Amino acid sequence: MKKILITGAGGGVGQHLRRELAGKYDIRISDIAPVRKNPGESFMKADVASMKDMLRITKGVDAFVHLGGYSVEGPWEDILDANIVGCYNAYEAARRNGVKRFLFATSNHAVGFYRRDEVIDHKVYIKPDSRYGVSKVFGEAMGSLYSDKYGMEVFCMRIGNVGTEPIDKRRLAIWISPRDLAQLVSIGIDSPKVRFEIVYGVSNNKRSWYDNRNAKRLGYKPQDNSERFAKAVLAREQAGDPRAEQFQGGAFVKAEQIENPTPVVQRHARSSK
């Protein structure tokens, strides 16, 4: 059984993923604050902004699922600390400790300034919609570097929105169910084809803006489709800001700061994007 590390394990994305992967891997979870362990998990407290901490938690793992970070648009200092410095620490600690497989939770916000009437694939030029989006582009670039320079196998997942169901019209396009996310992560951990890959973390949504053929090439077969929620979602949808409605990134294209779902010191990957 492979030993995997999940940072940001106390956040919404991490909690969904841990439930779905239980029993499939030997799971080490980490966060800056204590997290209640599920059966079969071990916990190590760590701050992604501390290289010392990251070196400690990456020892002896086969794959690293890096969810930890600042999860919304916010002050540059906070994003820099958690998502730039923290991301570098994650890759470098993994390299020093010989972790071969690295899964990076990037975001739809790395390409959020594409219009909603466009369908994009994994090869499009980056168009971040926020400082947060820029930090995710940085993480993708770090993955490319560490793959080419050090031979690390890197799997970048441009995650849309993780949850049991989509909550608005935009999320009908970008939603991913917990079981589809777990399938995608398992591909990232186990597929022998991974070198450096960018895929979209979305279910098989009828309204999707993404050509996800690279994920399908690696064996991804999403089981869920947001369309079964569409009638209820659209019935309660209200008109939004015209500029935000124009672009895939939604409110991120205008916002200078979005309320952080947790205190700054709790750098969790959340499902609120």
Task: Give 257's Cβ-side CA count (13 Å radius).
Answer: 10
Q: pTM for the full model?
A: 0.94
Asked, for residue 185, whether it belongs to a domain, the answer is yes
pLDDT at 261: 61
pLDDT at 269: 43
SS3 156: strand
Asked, for residue 258, whether it belongs to a domain, the answer is no
Q: Give me the DSSP letters along 89-104.
A: HHHHHHHHTT--EEEE
pLDDT band at 99 (very low <50, low <70, confident <90, very high): very high
pLDDT at 134: 98
Asked, for residue 14, whether it belongs to a domain, the answer is yes
Q: Which of 132, 200, 210, 220 is catalytic?
A: 132
pLDDT band at 262 (very low <50, low <70, confident <90, very high): low
Asked, for residue 130, whether it belongs to a domain, the answer is yes
Q: Is the pLDDT of residue 264 over 50?
A: no
pLDDT digits (tens, 9 = 90+) for 162-208: 999 999 999 999 999 999 999 999 999 999 999 999 999 999 999 99
Q: How many CB atoms neighbour CB 52 within 10 A? A: 10
CATH number at residue 53: 3.40.50.720
Length of the chain as a residue count: 273
Domain that holds residue 25: 3-253
pLDDT digits (tens, 9 = 90+) for 122-172: 999 999 999 999 999 999 999 999 999 999 999 999 999 999 999 999 999
Gap between the Cα atoms of 137 and 69, Å rounded: 14
Asked, for residue 264, whether it belongs to a domain, the answer is no
What domain count does the chain have? 1
> What are the two backbone dihedrals, phi and then psi, of residue 126, each rounded to the nearest 5 degrees?
-65, 140
pLDDT at 259: 73
Residue 132 annotated as catalytic: yes
Asked, for residue 271, whether it belongs to a domain, the answer is no
- Average pLDDT in the 247-254 region? 96
Asked, for residue 113, whether it belongs to a domain, the answer is yes
